[in-house]
Amino acid sequence: MGKVRGSIAGIGMTSARTRDRLVERLRAHGIHSEAVLHQIRNVPRHLFVDEALASRAYEDTALPIGHGQTISQPYVVAKMTEALVDGFDCEKVLEIGTGCGYQTAVLASLVKKVYSVERIPELLRKTRRRLRDLDIYNVQFRPGDGWEGWPKYAPYDGIIVAAAATVVPEKLLEQLAPGGRLVMPVGAPGYQELMLVERHHDHFEQRSLGGVSFVPLVKG
C-alpha cells in the first residue's frame, strides 16, 4: 500500500499543529473514522497545490489547480473516503477524476489498489510524478472518459467520483461489484447531493450524504 515519505512530507510552512487543527475541525464536523483522519493529517496537501497557494493548503477549502479544476476541500475528501471504506472491506477502488492526486493519495493507504481515470493529460502527468515522489505505488492511472469507467479491471469494491453529473453513469453502476459502494455528487451545476450508492445483487440503494458543489463530469 502507499505511504508518505517523511522527508517529502516536511513541516516548514505546514507544522504538525496546523495539520492537527484541520483534523480536529473535521472531527468536529462529523468525520469519525480514525483511519481517514490519520490520512488527512499525514498526506502533505501543500504538495498538491501551486506554491503560491501552499500557505492555504491546510484550510478546509477547495483550491484551484488549473485547467478549470479544483482540489476538493479536506472535509469533502474525508467524507467521501469515509463513506467508501469505513466498516467495509474495500480492496479495489475505481477513482474517476484523478485531478492533482490528493484524493488518490488519501485512498492509497486505505485500500489495496486504486485504478484512477483522468481526462486531462497534463494533470495526469504531474500526478503520476507527484505520487511516485511520495512512494505511492499501488495506483494505476489511465487517461480517459470518466463516464466509461475502466471496464478492464471491473468489478470494483468501491467507486469514487470527484465530479458531478445529473445521473450516476450506467457504465459505473455496471462496474460496481455486488455488495460494493459508489460515492459521487449528483445534481445540476452549482449544487449537488453527495450520494452513496450500494449494490445489492441486481438492485441499487442510494442515500444522500448532504449538499456539495463539484465541477461537472465531462464526457469525452
Q: What is the band of 82 on the pLDDT scale with cuts at 50, 70, 90?
A: very high
Averaged over 109-134, what is the pLDDT? Answer: 96
Whether the pLDDT of residue 200 is over 70: the answer is yes
Alpha-carbon distance 158 to 46, whole Å? 27
Does the structure show a pLDDT above 70 at 4? no
Q: How would residue 196 be classed by pLDDT, with cut points 50, 70 and 90? A: very high
Q: Residue 9 burial (CB < 10 Å; 0-12/13-18/19+)?
A: middle
Q: Rounding to the nearest 10 degrees, give the CA dihedral for residues 220, 76, 56, 130.
A: -50
Is 75:35 a contact under the CB 8 Å cutoff?
no
The DSSP symbol for 73 reads P
Quickly state the pLDDT bin for 71 (edges 50, 70, 90).
very high
Nearest to 41 by CA among 109, 112, 131: 109
State the Cα–Cα distance between residues 42 and 60, nearest whole angstrom: 15
Whether omega for the bond prior to residue 151 falls within 30 degrees of 0, making it cis, is: no
At residue 123, the pLDDT reads 93
Q: How far apart are CA 212 and CA 125, in angstroms?
A: 28
The domains of the chain, with CATH numbers, are 6-212 (3.40.50.150)
Please state, in angstroms and as integers, the Cα–Cα distance from residue 57 to each residue in 64, 71, 105, 134, following that order.
11, 10, 15, 17
Please enumerate in sequence order all residues whose Cβ is within 8 A of that of 52, keeping only pairs 6 or more positions apart, or say none: none
pLDDT in the model for residue 190: 87
* DSSP structure string for 4-17: --HHHH--TTS-HH
CA atoms within 13 A on the CB side of 57: 28
Rounded to an integer, the average pLDDT of 94-105 is 97
Mean pLDDT for 73-86 is 96
Alpha-carbon span 124 to 99, nearest angstrom: 7
Task: Give per-residue pLDDT as tens, 151-187.
Answer: 999 999 999 999 999 999 999 999 999 999 999 999 9
- pLDDT average, residue stretch 115-126: 95
Q: Is the pLDDT of residue 12 over 80?
A: no
Q: Measured between alpha carbons, how far is 17 from 115 in angstroms, rounded to an integer?
A: 33
- With bands split at pLDDT 50, 70 and 90, how would you rate the model's confidence at 1? low
Q: Across residues 9-36, what is the average pLDDT?
A: 85
Segment 136-146, tens digit of pLDDT: 999 999 999 99
Enzyme catalytic residues:
72
Instruction: Kindly indicate the confidence band of residue 14, based on its pLDDT and cuts at 50, 70 and 90.
Output: low
